[in-house]
Amino acid sequence: MSKIFIFSALFFITANCFSQITGEVNGKVIDRSNQQPLQDVSVSVLKNTIVLGGAVSDEKGFFKIDEIPVGEYTIRLSLVGFNTLFIDNIVVNSGAPADVLAELEIVSTELIEITEERFRNPNDISNSFKNLNYEEIRRSPGGFEDIGRVVQTLPGVSFVNDGRNDLIVRGGSPSENLFLVDNSVVPNINHFGSQGSTGGPISIINLELLREINFVTGGFSAKYGDKLSSILELKLREGSREKFLSDINLSATGFGAVFEGPIGSEKKGSWIFSARRSYLDLIFNASGFGFVPAYSSAQIKAVYDFNDKNSLTVNAYGNLDNVKFNNDTEENIQDNETILDNDQKGYVNTFELKSLLTKKSFALFNLGRTYNTVNYLGRDSLFNDVFRNNSKESETTLKAEYFLSPDIGTQLEFGAAWRFVNFENDILRDTDTTYFIDPVSGDRYVLPALSINDDNSTGKAFAFAQLTHTFFGKLKINAGLRYDYFAFINNKNYISPRASAVFSFTSKFNLSFAYGIFYQSPSYVWLIANPVNKNLNDIRADHYIAGAEYLPSSDFRISLEAYYKNYSDYPVSSLRPYVILANSGGDFEQEEDFGLEPLISAGTGYSRGIELFIQKTLTESFYGTLNLSIYESKYKALDGIERTSNFDNRYLFTITGGYKFGDGWQAGSKFRFAGGRPYTPINPADGTMLVSEYNTARLPDYTRLDVRLDKIWNFSKWTLVTYIDIQDILNKKNVTAFEWNKYTKMIEEDESIGLLPSIGINVMF
């Protein structure tokens, strides 16, 4: 006990010794409407409304504030004719400058009063929008510093189990989410990604390169398409334009390093590079696990300003994922028979040129390529191959966008793109007998043998136009039209009108509405499964959303939203008339989950719900969020029977909070409660399941409490960030599924891992 006391005392003494160490805040300010740099912006560093330092931006929009005591602050940016902007969660360390990119919103003082902004939506989004910055994601308890796992705690977002970061948004399938990284569409941001879906166990994108995320859960503008439920936009930070910096880190998801530095002189450009590798394979091997995953990734971003009007951004990242099976015991052999071997590798490479054309307009030109290979292999207990799926998918996209602000309160957006698509598939499946009973014959459904070996090239295209206009400083209208084209299917053309509005009664209270038609093309692996699948249509969802938001204070908000999503043309199986692919995408461990059978666009469904979100940002010492979602999601497959969706939890509740004690100490906790997901009861005699009982039972409700303690140590030239994170501190082993074990002839529970402590170490210099 005495040793613990001495260690704790040294902890605090050391912190106090270095409490006067300072750091700096660097950044750039631009006009949100035309992306032009803003000069003479007053930038202040605030602590509890007290100004600790300040600067004024130069002719290129850059600013620098020196000699700020290490700690966490709010940045205030103000300029005559613009709304004052507040940015919270700015952490000043001695090891690396805090980097800020701020976009100010111009106003007309003849129409509306200049206001202070802390919570704001993008111009073309009226509701269903949340923003998280790097620090909010980093400090999230139980989040493993992983983007997807933290987004799972936002309103309307559910999950499959603790081992995956799939996003199930407002009752939709995990395949319905669009990912963008620095304005470039990418198919997936996760290691071991599910083919045809968007989830996986862990994010490829290194959090240390992230600046912020924008997350839209419905009613998004015509600029975004080919997905039905959500937009997750990741905005990466630039590297330092002034000096070389390093960051060595260890966390629950792996260990790695980040290096960054300037390109050229006079802040012309920068680069930043990271590499990471997991160490779970070392732990799993040592613990005797039969299933051992290993993954690694590398990522680079470079930015260069050719002149005051033109700049180039280059992004690239790649992943290498492998699974090893330890079939050294009979138990491991039996367990591994139900899991597909899943080896993957891929890369993303994008180039974007930004051109500031006039004081009222700018353009973006984007060239991007994505490539991914998946190698699934299923074997029986005698190690005979019963399923193989070796697929390669690549896309090369050319995109151009034009933005015009002809006057204050009006913005026009136009864009178009062509995508070159190639997918190669080598798939082999033996005849597979399922456990579901055909209600007509009384026999089990059988999936026939399948052999596919083909190489397809095709194209996709889209074009959009979007108008945003504010009337009398009170009513903002968004209206857009989108056109999508997919050459590979027979019905190639789709048009999507969308509109939204927000009316501000006061600066503290507003109402919003949104309606839109959204289309999503069928997954490539669905289309090659059978020749008739080319007759599939794009899946359609109609969104209806209404919301209200109230700001009791500048750092506190309450929002309430109701939504209804109406689905049509969802692919359904003609062999298994109870199957709709809206229920797939969350856990690709069985070969029957890939949709490899004749499909028809005959599925319908809906999801409806209401969401409450309360947020207090960190402006002094305390921060917290509370969200409650109540919803239902149901579908009809080919047999026309309405059934509950696999992803219908009915209710979701999450509360997070944290407190900063000073001297770099911070504690946080997160409690999550979710209703049990539906499942089909299993016959304990033989493991069969009746179609008439499909999804009529529910798993036990899910509860989890996570806690986290952070400490930042600032020294004269470097910073040490440490934390301990305890996932599921109450050791509540939630049941995630019931499965039939054909060897023991028993129904078994799949449980979460329970209590899981982890530590993190970050060295910045």
Secondary structure of 289-322 in HEC code, one letter for each residue: CCEEEEEEEEEEEEEEECCCCEEEEEEEEEEEEE
Type and span of the H or E element at 10? helix 2-17
Q: What is the mean pLDDT of residues 173-181?
A: 94
Query: What confidence tens digit (pLDDT) does each residue in 20-73 have?
Result: 799 999 989 999 888 999 999 999 998 888 888 889 999 999 999 998 999 889
> Predicted confidence band at 111 (pLDDT cuts at 50, 70, 90)?
very low
Distance between CA atoms of residues 581 and 73, nearest Å: 47
pLDDT given at position 160: 87
196 token code pair: 């045809």
pLDDT given at position 125: 85
pLDDT beyond 50 at 756: yes
**Which of 623, 633, 535, 625 is CA-nearest to residue 582?**
633
Query: What confidence tens digit (pLDDT) does each residue in 509-550 have?
Result: 999 999 999 999 999 999 999 999 999 999 999 999 999 999
**Tokens 């039972």 label which residue?**
697
Phi, psi torsion values for 594, nearest 5 degrees: -85, -5
Query: What confidence tens digit (pLDDT) does each residue in 328-383 have?
Result: 676 677 666 777 888 999 999 999 999 999 999 999 999 999 999 999 888 777 77
pLDDT given at position 476: 93
What rounded mean pLDDT belongs to the chain?
Answer: 89
Q: Which residues pair with 403 in a beta bridge?
A: 362, 413
Q: For a pLDDT cut of 70, what percent of the chain falls above it?
A: 93
Distance between CA atoms of residues 353 and 391, nearest Å: 32
The 3-state DSSP composition of the chain as helix, strand, coil percent (nearest 5) reads 10, 55, 35
Distance between CA atoms of residues 586 and 563, nearest Å: 23
Q: Which CATH architecture has domain 2-117?
A: Sandwich (2.60)
Q: Rg for the chain (alpha carbons), in Å?
A: 26
pLDDT beyond 50 at 5: no
pLDDT beyond 70 at 1: no
Distance between CA atoms of residues 335 and 330, nearest Å: 9
Residue 399's contacts (CB-CB under 8 Å, 6 or more residues apart) are: 364, 365, 366, 367, 368, 415, 416, 417
Q: Strands 410-429 and 539-553: what pairing?
A: unpaired
Distance between CA atoms of residues 624 and 622, nearest Å: 7
Query: What confidence tens digit (pLDDT) does each residue in 656-706 have?
Result: 999 998 888 999 999 999 999 999 999 999 999 999 999 999 999 999 999
**Which of 528, 534, 522, 531 is CA-nearest to residue 569?**
522
> Predicted confidence band at 4 (pLDDT cuts at 50, 70, 90)?
very low
pLDDT given at position 371: 97
Largest Cα–Cα distance in the chain? 79
pLDDT given at position 17: 44
Q: Which of 99-103, 194-198, 350-354 has the lowest mean pLDDT?
A: 194-198
Which residue type occupies 273? F
**Tokens 């994601």 label which residue?**
137
pLDDT given at position 589: 57
27 token code pair: 């950044």
Q: Which residues pair with 669 in a beta bridge?
A: 657, 707
334 token code pair: 């039996």
Q: Which residue has the higher pLDDT, 200 or 273?
A: 273
Query: What confidence tens digit (pLDDT) does each residue in 146-160 have?
Result: 999 999 999 999 988
pLDDT beyond 60 at 191: yes
Our measurement of the distance from residue 677's CA atom to the centroid of its chain's CA atoms, rounded to an integer in Å, reads 22
**Tokens 């999801």 label which residue?**
607
- Contact between 362 and 354 under an 8 Å Cβ cutoff? The reply is yes
> Predicted confidence band at 115 (pLDDT cuts at 50, 70, 90)?
low
pLDDT given at position 15: 42
Q: Which residue has the higher pLDDT, 473 or 110?
A: 473
Query: What confidence tens digit (pLDDT) does each residue in 572-591 have?
Result: 999 999 999 999 876 655 66
Distance between CA atoms of residues 680 and 435, nearest Å: 11
Type and span of the H or E element at 84? strand 84-92
Q: What is the mean pLDDT of residues 644-652?
A: 96
pLDDT given at position 716: 87
162 token code pair: 């603790």
Domain 129-764 has CATH 2.40.170.20: yes
CATH fold match for the domains 2-117 and 129-764: no
230 token code pair: 């959500």
Distance between CA atoms of residues 477 and 467, nearest Å: 8
- List the chain domain ranges: 2-117, 129-764
Q: What is the mean pLDDT of residues 718-724?
A: 93
pLDDT given at position 110: 43
pLDDT beyond 80 at 636: yes
pLDDT given at position 225: 93
**Which of 584, 586, 587 is CA-nearest to residue 576?**
584
**Residue 732 to residues 113, 650, 653, 654, 701: CA-CA distances in angstroms?**
52, 21, 17, 16, 11
pLDDT given at position 12: 39
- Contact between 436 and 682 under an 8 Å Cβ cutoff? The reply is no
Residue 9's contacts (CB-CB under 8 Å, 6 or more residues apart) are: none
- Contact between 631 and 156 under an 8 Å Cβ cutoff? The reply is yes
pLDDT given at position 107: 76
10-21 core/surface letters (b: 16 or more CB in 10 A; e: else):
eeeeebeeeeeb
Type and span of the H or E element at 572? strand 556-573
- The Cβ of residue 78 has, within 10 Å, a number of other Cβ atoms equal to 16
pLDDT beyond 80 at 129: yes
pLDDT given at position 461: 98
76 token code pair: 């205030």
Q: What is the mean pLDDT of residues 611-623?
A: 91
pLDDT given at position 112: 42
pLDDT beyond 50 at 7: no
Distance between CA atoms of residues 589 and 378, nearest Å: 9
Residue 215's contacts (CB-CB under 8 Å, 6 or more residues apart) are: 129, 130, 131, 132, 151, 154, 230, 231, 232, 233
- The Cβ of residue 373 has, within 10 Å, a number of other Cβ atoms equal to 14
Q: What is the mean pLDDT of residues 725-731?
A: 94
Q: Which residues pair with 437 in a beta bridge?
A: 444, 690
Distance between CA atoms of residues 499 and 125, nearest Å: 10
Q: What is the mean pLDDT of residues 232-252?
A: 92
Q: How many CA atoms lie within 13 A of 366 on its CB side?
A: 25
| HEC-encoded secondary structure of 321-345 | EEEEECCCCHHHHHHHHCCCEEEEE
- The Cβ of residue 292 has, within 10 Å, a number of other Cβ atoms equal to 18
**Residue 56 to residues 17, 61, 466: CA-CA distances in angstroms?**
32, 9, 34
Beta strands in 581-718 (DSSP E): 599-616, 622-636, 642-644, 651-662, 665-674, 678-679, 689-690, 697-698, 702-714
Q: How many CA atoms lie within 13 A of 29 on its CB side?
A: 30
> Predicted confidence band at 285 (pLDDT cuts at 50, 70, 90)?
low
What's the angle, vertex CA 531, arms to CA 525 and CA 535, rounded to 5?
85
Which residue type occupies 579? V
3-state secondary structure of 592: helix
pLDDT beyond 80 at 287: no
3-state secondary structure of 154: coil
- In this prediction the pTM is 0.93
Q: What is the DSSP-derived secondary structure letter of residue 174?
A: G
Distance between CA atoms of residues 677 and 371, nearest Å: 34
Phi, psi torsion values for 347, nearest 5 degrees: -155, 160
What's the angle, vertex CA 16, arms to CA 11 and CA 18, rounded to 5?
105
Phi, psi torsion values for 583, nearest 5 degrees: -90, 5
Type and span of the H or E element at 12? helix 2-17
Q: What is the DSSP-derived secondary structure letter of residue 466?
A: E
